[in-house]
Structure 1
Amino acid sequence: MIDWTRLKDLRDEVGAEEFEDIVALFLDEVDDAVEKLRSAPDTATLEDDLHFLKGSALTLGFRDLSDLCQTGETEASQGRADTVDVAAILNSYQNSKHVFLSDRAAHMTY
């Protein structure tokens, strides 16, 4: 679910303080995007919304979420936005976020 190696590499690349800023920004922006999908998914912008989520998920190692967003983005780009499993994407984000927040200290030792 979480690519902890990716996260450690990112932290090592940018430094611990910058990493914390990236994490906070990621969670804030993705929470907003996920809320948009939850409350008012727009088939006209779904491809772009999922592309954003996919990239954000990759940045912080949320592999499963990234994969689901890629599948949905492809479906939306082929005119099948109505077949995108938005519920699975929302569920994956909540699960990934929970695992990230609860297991982060154990995996991100310096």
Structure 2
Amino acid sequence: MSAVLNFTELENIISAASKKFFFNAQFDCVVVDPGQDYRPSYFFELDSSFHDTAEARNRDQMKNEICAAAGIKLIRIRAFEQKETTREAFAQLIREILMPAPL
């Protein structure tokens, strides 16, 4: 997270727990815009059954809080089958989401 979000802009508006979490957390995928100096455009998380524990839900909530404070939309994709959690499957889902719909 610290590679793409400015902590100084967030530190006074996020919880103490989220401040600690900020420097250890990462996004599963950030899509950047090469036409805009590689500015981050989309933020994705791949959630699966591993996100169902109380500890994981707490981490997800802190990530949601940080994103809301930063004014960014975190797009969560829920994988319901193990095969959907591979890097290739996740990349394909992101491509499908970002592809313009045919006219």
TM-score, structure 2 as length reference: 0.30
Higher relative contact order (CA 8 A, sep 6+): 1
Higher helix share: 1
Higher strand share: 2
TM-score, structure 1 as length reference: 0.29
